[in-house]
Amino acid sequence: MQEVYNQVKKQPDFQKLVKLRKKVSLTLTSIVILSYFSFILIIAFYPDIFSQKISPDNATTLGIVVGLLIILLSIFLTGIYIYIANKKFDVINNKIIKKLEQ
């Protein structure tokens, strides 16, 4: 196994996979963490922002809209990750494994 791992490590495709996955996971994780903690901190520091109504004759407040958007964003971002993983990660990974078999 040690030899296999050494061989994989040297492959340029492996470096590419690592770099790409790092970029994608870091970006998406930061978006989730930033949006969630801004939501929480606005509630803690400036709750009035979220008390605003979205229009004068609508009872819905900005907080409810933002809250629901964060739920939808979470689902959407996991979908994006799956899409990139299926389209990109797996293709590179299969290349790595194919090269290994040769």
Verify binding: residue 77, another protein, rule CB under 8 A.
Answer: yes
Cα separations in angstroms, 102 against 95, 96, 97, 98, 99: 11, 10, 9, 7, 5
How far apart are the C-alpha atoms of 35 and 58, rounded to whole Å? Answer: 25
Pure H helices in the chain: 2-10, 12-45, 47-51, 62-84, 90-101
Q: Looking at this protein, which amino acid is placed at residue 79?
A: G
Which of 4, 12 has the CB closer to another protein?
4
Q: Restricting to residues 41-60, name those near another protein by CB under 8 A.
A: 41, 43-45, 47-48, 50-51, 58-60
Q: Which residues here bind another protein, judged by CB under 8 A?
A: 1-2, 4-5, 8-9, 14, 17-18, 21, 24-25, 28-29, 32-33, 36-37, 39-41, 43-45, 47-48, 50-51, 58-61, 63-64, 67-68, 70-72, 74-75, 77-79, 81-82, 85-86, 90, 93, 96-97, 100
